[in-house]
A and B are shown apart, each in its own frame.
Chain A
Amino acid sequence: MFVSDLLESKKDCCLVESDSATVERHSLSGWELFLMPLRLTWTAIALAAAVLVTSGCIDDSRTASQRSTGGKKDGAAATSEKLARFPMASDGPKSLDPVRGSTVYENRCASPVLETLLQYKYLIRPFKLEPLLLEDMPTVSNDGVTYTFHLKKGVYFHDDPCFPDGKGREMVAADVLYSWKRMADESKSKVAWLFEDTILGFNQYRDSQRHAETFDLDADMQGLKIVNDHEFTVTLAQPTSRFLWTLAMFQTSVIPREAVDGYGSRFGLHPVGTGPFTLKEQDWRKGQSITFRRNPNYHECFYPEEHMPEDIPEGFQKAAGQQLPFLDAVEITFEPKSEPMWLNFKNGKYDFTTVPADNFDEAFNRRTKKLRPEMKAERIRGYPVPLLDFMFKGFNMEDPVLGGYTEKKKKLRQALCLAMDWDEVNDVFYNGINIVYDGPIPPGLKGHPESGQVDVSYRGLNLEQAKKLLAEAGYPNGEGLPFLEYYTGRVANSQEQTEMLQQHLSRINVQLHVHLLDFSTLIQAVDNKKAQFFSFAWGSDYPDAENNLALFYGPNEAPKPNHFNYKNSEYDKLYQQIFSMQPSDERTAVMETMRDIVLEDCPYGGSMARTRFYLVRPRLKNFKPIETFENWFKYIDIDPAAE
C-alpha cells in the first residue's frame, strides 16, 4: 500500500473541469463541526477501547483444548489436563516422515510420535545409549559385524484409522526392516547416507531400485534377516562405531506400513508410530502450532533411575520409577522470530524458552552470567546448554587460489585464519557465551583438546604473524591476492558478522566479495564446489567425534559433507581406522592425531560452539534441557501448584 500512491494517479481522470466559482469560507463554531462528523469516529474509538479493556482482562494463556472445543469447557477434563506449552524457533517442521527429516525441528516434532530402537539415557552425561523398543542392548558377534536384536514385546502402534477397526497392532521385526528399507528409496528419502556402506547389501538394494517404477519394499536386503517376530539380525559391511548411535536417530524410527500405504504422500502430515504421544492431522495448524496428545496404549516405559550428582539439587531424580508419559498434551507454537517468542515467554505463554542472544541482558547479568533477580523472583531457572556445534569458515581445497597442499598455499590459509578474531565475534554477537576452541571436535566429546587450545593451531588473533605468513605465501601486504569470494547464508545477523569479517581481513589487506545467499543457493554453491570461502556450521548427529572428522574424509567430497574437498591419504587411513574401532583411549589418540593434521593444513578457520541458554518456569518438572536428542517430552511433568 505504501506505493499505491504512485500507481493510482487516476485522480486526474476524475477531475472534471471546474468553474472558477470560489469557495466561500464560512465561519462556524468549531465544536459543532468537530463533534458531528467525528461522532462516528468517537463511537468507533470508544467501542474499540471497550473491547481492548475487556480483552485485556481475559486470561491470555488459553489452552489448546479449550480452543479446539470452541471454548466450551469440558468440565473436569479440561481444567485438570496437564498441558505443556512450548515454543519452537522456526516456522515448523515440513514433514514428519522420518526418511524426509533432516532438521532439529523435524526431530523434535517426530520424536513424541515415533520411536527408535535405542534412546539416550536421559540424565547421564557423557551420553550413553539404552534400549527403548528392545528388551536389552543388542549383542554383537565376535567379528563385530553381526548384531542381534530382541524386540520388546507388547509394543503397539497408535490406534489409527489406517489399521483395520482403527486399532493399532503389535510391532514386529518386519516393521523395523520395513522402516529401514524405506530409507533406501531416494525418490522420497534424504537419509540413505545413514546406512550407506554400513549395512551389508544396502548399496545394492538402493542402486538396483533407483529407476524402478515402484520401490519394492519387500525385496530382501542381504544384511537384514528376520529370525522371528521379535528377533532379527543385522550384518554390517565392516565394524562400524557409529552404527548404534544411528539407531537412536529419529530417521530410523519404526513405522507401520499400513500408515504409509494408507496416507501416501500425506504420511508426513499424519505420522503413526509407537510413541508416547499421538498427532491428529487437525492438531497441526501449519505455520502456527502443533499439539500432541497422550497415547493411552503406550508400552511400559519408566522414568530412569540412573542420574548424575548434579541432578539432585534440581530434583530430576524424584520421578524415578514412575510410568511414562506424565503429560496429557504438549502444544508447540511456532515462533520464527525471536523477539515475539521472548516477549511471549515473559508474558507467561510458554513453560520454557531459549534466550535469544539479543535479550540475554534481560535474563542474565551479562557480566556474571547469573540469573537476574526478576527472573529468580518468578522462580524461573536458567540452564546453559553447550551444543555439539562446529562453526567454521571453510576453504575449498580445490580452488586454484586458496586450495592446495604446498607450503605457500598452506601459509596463505594460515594467515587468513590468524586474522580472524573469533573472540570478538563471540563477544559482539553472542555475549561471550559461546565457546571458541581449536579443532573440529566440539566440547564434550573425546578428542576435544584440553581447555580448547592446541599448540599447532593457527587461530587468531595474531596480526603480526598473519602478515608474515601472508608475505611468505607470496602476497606481501596482500598485494597480488585477488578479492576472495565469500559465501554465507542470509540468516539473522549474518550480514553484520560478514562486515566484521571484512573488517578483520582488511587489517591484513585482504578484500572480500560477499555473496549473501539464501540457504538453498548457498548449499548449491558449496555442493558444486563453486564456493571458494564459505561460512557454515555442523551440528553433530551423534556424540562421537567421528561424525565431525568425517567432514574431512576424502571420499566424502562435495556434494557430500566434506565441503572442503580436503583429501589427505594419511588422514583417510586414520579415519577408516576409527570408523571401525570401539571407543577406547587408543581411538581417542588417533582422533587427536587426525585433529592435528587438519589444524596444520588449515582447510578451515574456526572454531566456535554455540551455547544455548534455557529459561524454565517453575511449573515444568523433570526438564533437563538438552539438544543432542529430542525425545524427552515423555519425561516432563507439570505441577500447576508450583506457579
Chain B
Amino acid sequence: MTDETHSRSLQKFLRHRPALLSLSIILLYGATAAVLIFSSVMTMEHTLEPVAAFNLPGFSRQCMPEKRLRDVERSFRRIEVALRRRNPIEQLKSVTAGSLVLASHDPAYLQSRLDQVDGIIDRLYGYEDLDQIVQDSAQDASAILDQLNELESVATELFTLAEGRTEAGRRFRLLLGTDKQGRSILLRAIWSVRVAILVGFVTGMVSVVFGTALGLVAGYFGGWIDHAVNWLYSTFASIPNIVLLIVLSFAFDGGEFDDLLNRWTGNFARKIIGVPVQETLIPVFIAFCATYWIGPCRVIRGEALKLRELEYVQAAQVLGYGRIRILLRHMLPNVAHLMLINFSLLFIGAIKSEVILSYLGLGVKKGPSWGIMIKQSGQEVINGFYWQIGAATVFMLVLVLAFNILSDAVQDILDPRHVG
C-alpha cells in the first residue's frame, strides 16, 4: 500500500468513533496488564487473601439477616475457640476476620464482651428462620434488625484494620463483594485481566507469526514445501479443537514434561521460570498455539498464492531480487492487514478458550482468571449470588467486544469490499 492509502486509512480510522473507543478500552486493559506484570502494586497474593466474610454482595449492599448473624457469629466464634486453647494470648494473635485483626489481646476483656453478646445471640437463636420472619412481621423485623446491628457494632469494636491497611483500601476491595472464601472479587477480576492479556497476546503473536511464516513460505515456494505445510496443517486441523487442547493439556499435567525439560536443559528451565512448568501458563500457551496457528496459516497461504501472481512480485523476481527479500519486502506488507485481523480474532478465541479450559481444570492453575471465577461461581448462582460471575462476565465482555468492534473497523477500513 502506498503512503497515501496509509494516511487515508489512518484518517478514516480516526473518524470511526466506535473503533477509537474500542482501541482505548483495549489499551486500558493492556496498560492494566502491564502494570500488573511489571510492578508489584498488586500481586497474586493480594487476590488470594480473604478480605471479609464470604459471599458479601458488592456496593456495600446489606445481606439477609440469617447471613448477617452467621457472619458476625463466625467472628465471635473464632475468638471463643482461641480463648479455650492452652495459650490464649498466643492464639488470639492469630485470629482474623478477613483482613481485620483483633484490637485487643486481653483475654479477660474479650471474654466479657463475648458474654455480653451471648444473650443477644441466644435470643436470636430462638427464632427458626430469621429471613422469613423479617419478611412476614414488621414488628419482629425491627427487633431482630436492632439486635443484629448491636452485634455488628460490637464486632466492629473488637476488630480493627491490620497493620498497613487502610479503610479506603478495604472499601475498594469490597466494591464488588467477596467470593466463597472471602476474597475480593474486584481484585480477582483485575488480576484476571493480566492473565487474559498474557494468554491472548502470546497466543496471538506466536500463532500469527508462526502461521504467517509457514503460510507465506508454502504459498510462495509451492512444491514439496507447500505439500509438507499442507500435511502438517491438515493434520492439526482435523483433530477437533477441544480434543487437541485437552490431550495436550493432559500431556503436561503430572510433571513428566517438567522432568523431561529439566533433564534436557540441565535444570536451566527450572532456574529461569522458577516453578514447575505445569504451574505456569506455558502449557496453556503451547496448547493454544498448537491449535490456533492453523487459522492464520490457511488465510495467509491463500493470500500468498494470489500475491505470487501479481505483477510487481513477478517483476521483482525477474529483477533477480533474493527470495527472502521478496517475501519480506513485497509479500509480507500485503498480508499485514490479515495478520492484524487474525491476531485480534485469535486473541478473543484464546481468552474464551481459556475459560473453557479452566472450567475443566486444565487451564490456569495458579491464581484467578475469568474462567476460574466463572467455574467457582457455578454453585453460587444457584444460591442467588451473581457478583462473581457477573464481574467476570462483564470484564471479559467489554474486552472481547472492544476487540470485535476494532477488528471489524479495521477490516472495514482496509478492505473496502468487506461487509462488517
Contact = CB atoms under 8 A, between A and B. Distances in A.
A and B touch in the complex (CB under 8 A): yes
A50 B93 CA distance: 65
Given A7-B295, A358-B379, A502 B70 contact: no
Contacts of A428: 54, 180-182
B39 interface: no
A462 B129 contact: no
Closest 4 CB pairs of A and B: A358-B379, A464-B90, A463-B94, A521-B254
B48 interface: yes
B181 A500 contact: yes
Interface of A: 2-3, 5-7, 9, 12-13, 15, 18, 339, 358-359, 361-362, 365-368, 370, 372-373, 423, 427-428, 461-465, 483, 485, 490, 493, 495-496, 499-500, 502-503, 506-507, 513-518, 521, 524-525, 530
Nearest to A429: B180
A602 B43 CA distance: 33
Interface of B: 45, 48-50, 54, 66, 69-70, 73-74, 81, 85, 87, 90-91, 93-94, 125, 128-129, 132, 180-182, 237, 241, 250, 253-255, 275-276, 278-279, 292, 294-295, 298-299, 302, 342, 345-346, 349, 352-353, 356, 361, 365-366, 372, 376, 378-380, 382-383, 417
Contact of A6 (B45, B91, B275, B292): B292
Given A461-B94, A495-B372, A3 B253 contact: no
Nearest to B382: A339
A3 B287 CA distance: 14
A107 B259 CA distance: 38
A518 B376 contact: no
B298 A366 contact: no
Contacts of A9: 295, 298-299
B181 A514 contact: no
B91 A462 contact: yes
A373 B295 contact: no
Contacts of A462: 85, 87, 90-91, 94
Nearest to A522: B254
Given A2-B352, A2-B353, A15-B417, 14 more contacts: A2-B349, A5-B345, A7-B241, A9-B298, A9-B299, A365-B129, A368-B125, A373-B132, A428-B180, A462-B90, A516-B361, A516-B365, A517-B253, A524-B254
B345 A6 contact: yes
B181 A515 contact: no
Nearest to B49: A503
Nearest to A466: B94
Nearest to A17: B417
A417 B222 CA distance: 65
A420 to B, nearest CB: 12
B299 A12 contact: yes
Given A12-B302, A428-B181, A517-B253, A465 B90 contact: yes
A339 B378 contact: yes
A464 B93 contact: yes
Contacts of B48: 499, 502-503
A373 B132 CA distance: 10
A503 B279 contact: no
Contact of A515 (B45, B73, B278): B278
B216 to A, nearest CB: 16
Nearest to A356: B379
A464 B94 contact: yes
Contacts of A6: 292, 295, 342, 345-346, 349
A359 B382 contact: yes
A612 B302 CA distance: 61
B313 to A, nearest CB: 19
B349 A3 contact: yes
14 contacts: A2-B349, A7-B294, A12-B299, A12-B302, A358-B382, A361-B383, A367-B73, A427-B74, A463-B94, A464-B90, A495-B365, A503-B48, A515-B255, A524-B254
B254 A513 contact: no
Contact of B253 (A367, A485, A518): A518
A13 B298 CA distance: 11
Contacts of A365: 66, 128-129
Contacts of A485: 276
Contact of A506 (B45, B180, B253, B378): B45
B381 to A, nearest CB: 9
Contact of B276 (A366, A423, A513): A513
A314 to B, nearest CB: 22
A490 B346 contact: no
Contacts of B85: 462
Contacts of B417: 15, 18
A623 B357 CA distance: 41
Contacts of B90: 462, 464-465
B129 A515 contact: no
Contacts of B254: 515, 517, 521, 524-525
Contacts of B81: 423
Contacts of A427: 74
Contacts of A368: 125, 128
A3 B365 contact: no
A496 B376 contact: yes
B183 to A, nearest CB: 8
Nearest to A468: B90
A428 B74 CA distance: 11
Contacts of B299: 9, 12
B93 A483 contact: no
A6 to B, nearest CB: 4
Nearest to A343: B382
